[in-house]
Amino acid sequence: MRSLYILIAEDDDQNQAMMKLILMRRGHRVKSAWNGVQALEAVKKESFDLVFMDVQMPEMDGLEATRQIRAWEDRKRRVPIVILTGSAPSQTSDNYKAAGADTFLSKPFDMKRLELVINVIASEDFAHSSSESIYQMDGSISELPTIDKMEALSRFDGDMQMYIENLVEFMKGLPFRLDQIKRALAEQQWDDISVHAHNLKGVAANFGATQLSVLAYRLDEYSHQQQSEQVKTTFHEISQHLLILNIIAEKLISQNRP
């Protein structure tokens, strides 16, 4: 795993110091910005592998800084941006997505999630593994690839551009698919949950989104059995996984734009 050059845009001294310590101990190089203006200027001057962007900062907030970074960037050079927020995720997700951020971390930080985000960005390439019998696997799915690009390409006759164009549409449609499941879950419409989960399982597999496909399979099975708590837990896991999947997909898309 390679060392990253990371920008931390955070106006709180303690949060800034804590994140720098965590990242530097893991071998990453770190630069600081204390507001959105400084973050924007830093991104324009240097090439970062990852930006952690606090929402509430003086002079220019994190969402506006993110919007301006996205407006400035070349289409083939898209730095991953992770929003740092003390707000509830439900209050934040639409805003950060609209601004162009890839995902968010809630304060106080979940160290496992922080490390997961960093590990995703630091990966040199996308893991490949056979999808044979993956739906029968028990326990953790963390060893499966988030996106198995080569396996997915076989379904697109090896045409990368066709795959990328369709992957963009797939990613755009995922929030709607989750909303359908969420509404059905609220009304305990088990058959509807099963149908949506089954469809998601197949579509995700087509695009090589292996972990998502396995999670959707489990959701389908639990809804068939009307296991309410397992359905809720798995839906939460899917929601969290999409934040990581979005980073991987955006990286893959930006690397392969025409």
pLDDT digits (tens, 9 = 90+) for 25-80: 889 999 999 999 999 999 999 999 999 999 889 999 999 999 999 999 876 578 99
Shared domain for 103 and 171, answered yes or no, is no
Shared domain for 142 and 118, answered yes or no, is no
pLDDT confidence of residue 184: 95
pLDDT confidence of residue 92: 54
Number of domains in the chain: 2
Residues 6+ apart with CB under 8 A from 100: 66, 67, 69, 70, 81
User: Domain for residue 153, yes or no?
Assistant: yes
Shared domain for 190 and 105, answered yes or no, is no
Q: How many CB atoms lie within 10 A of CB 111?
A: 9
Shared domain for 180 and 235, answered yes or no, is yes
CATH of the domain at 139: 1.20.120.160
CB of 214 within 8 A of CB of 144? yes
Shared domain for 186 and 217, answered yes or no, is yes
User: Domain for residue 212, yes or no?
Assistant: yes
CB of 114 within 8 A of CB of 105? yes
Shared domain for 142 and 205, answered yes or no, is yes
SS3 at position 165: helix
Shared domain for 110 and 156, answered yes or no, is no
Please give the Cα distance from 66 to 235 (Å, whole number).
29
CB of 126 within 8 A of CB of 3? no
End-of-domain residue from the set 88, 122, 156: 122
User: Domain for residue 10, yes or no?
Assistant: yes
Shared domain for 140 and 118, answered yes or no, is no
Shared domain for 83 and 182, answered yes or no, is no
pTM to 2 decimal places: 0.56
End-of-domain residue from the set 75, 98, 122: 122
> Which residues constitute the domain of residue 149?
134-255
User: Domain for residue 72, yes or no?
Assistant: yes
User: Domain for residue 197, yes or no?
Assistant: yes
Shared domain for 147 and 251, answered yes or no, is yes
pLDDT confidence of residue 110: 66
pLDDT confidence of residue 129: 33
User: Domain for residue 127, yes or no?
Assistant: no
End-of-domain residue from the set 122, 149, 181: 122
CATH of the domain at 96: 3.40.50.2300
pLDDT confidence of residue 140: 52
- Those residues of the chain that have pLDDT short of 70 are 1, 75-76, 87-94, 108-110, 112, 123-143, 258
CB of 10 within 8 A of CB of 84? yes
